[in-house]
Amino acid sequence: MSQRVAIVGIGQTRHGSRRPYHNDGEMINDAVTKALEDAQLSIKDIENVVIGNMDLFEGHNLNDTLLADYTGVIGKSGMKMNTGGTVGTTNVISGWFNVASGMCDTTLVIGWEKHDEGNATSAMITLWEPALGRNFEVGAISGLSMISNYYMSKSGCPLEIGAVVRAQASDNAARNPNAHLRDRFTAEEVMAARMVLYPLNLLMICPTSLGACAMVLAGEKAAKKISKRPVWIKDHATAHQVTRGAAELTTDPTKQVDTSMTVTARKIFTRNHITKPMEEIQVMEMYDPCAFCQPAWLEEFGLCEPGQGWRLIEKGVTAREGSFPVSPSGGVLCTNAIGDSGTLRVAEAALQLREGAGEHQITRKVKYALASGYGGFYYTDLLLLANTLD
């Protein structure tokens, strides 16, 4: 690739459950305007626009064309992404390729979803094969329930760990003014919530949110001129794993099959000579759609040994003040506008590197950060961000 790429502008809307007074474009333009202001640029300085969401949820096909007046893409090159839950991180990676290749020096990356104009679960159910699969799948929660049950049975993780994860996320989100669910809960209050699909109760699963997140990416020369504190996209990896069945939704040692998370992490760590990731990397914004994903995926990303993820959470390692904070923004557990969930992970990790996260800034000095995206049939994106080019 011809040039290195940095994040030089970040903007996001406040997230919520309903926004009837804004249409899709007005909501998106809010994030775009904030990202441009953060970079101290105008839309005239942007050469390329990458936008992505789940078209099926709002029922607007090829909405990038409908939203052109709001995104600023008119007269510029543009791309529309849709890769399921990973679309937000796919946006960022696509924008990286556009800049790194030398095709442009600046690109605007936009992830968004407006769930109050559609029904995500009804849409997801239609993805399953109607004769055999559809009767057993209830949107995303069926798969998340299988992941959770499988992890608990494999690792010995107790149900209470899910409550600890959600209570920790609630404390983080309460500090984040742009998060959707900002109420604080104790672990006992989480345990008392209504059961939805075992072992997941109403507080252990992600909400249905709306919102948008935009970022300005720039090549090395442009980034150094634009920003005093650019955040560099040091590396990224993508892996797709098309699977069916509970055991195949996470690592199955009897089959010796690596998950997409294991594959992406191995690539990132190997290429960057990272041998002790929880010591060399200071924070992770994980795409964590349910409480038990966090301990399970700490293991699958190779951050700890198998069976140790839930024990790290129990010890407070992943808390905002811990030695390896995970999702200090509150994560997907508290904010899930699916099209921007992945973009938001990268943006929030970048804010930690810039020391610009406000009240939810972690207490550790951050040099490297991880951000992940998850979705589809176990697709994973993983990005490594840094505050220097070293």
- Rounded CA gap, 152 and 310, in Å? 9
Structure confidence at residue 136 (pLDDT): 67
pLDDT along the chain (390 residues), means of 10: 92 94 94 98 98 85 91 95 92 98 97 85 73 72 90 97 98 98 98 97 96 98 96 97 50 64 97 97 97 97 97 98 98 96 98 98 96 89 94
Annotated domain spans of the chain: 5-118+208-226
| Helix intervals (H) in the chain | 24-39, 55-58, 63-66, 68-71, 87-100, 120-125, 141-155, 159-174, 187-191, 220-226, 260-271, 277-280, 293-300, 309-314, 331-334, 338-354
- Rounded CA gap, 171 and 163, in Å? 12
What is the pTM (predicted TM-score) of this model?
0.94
- Rounded CA gap, 280 and 176, in Å? 26
Token readout for 30 is 């809010």
Structure confidence at residue 369 (pLDDT): 98
Would you say how long the chain is, in residues? 390
Structure confidence at residue 56 (pLDDT): 80
Q: Burial-class residue 305 by CB neighbours within 10 Å (0-12, 13-18, 19+).
A: exposed
Structure confidence at residue 331 (pLDDT): 98
DSSP assignment of 135-190: GG--TTHHHHHHHHHHHHHHH---HHHHHHHHHHHHHHHHT-TT-S------HHHH
Range 5-118+208-226 has CATH code 3.40.47.10: yes
What are the phi and psi torsion angles at 67 (to 5°)? -100, 10
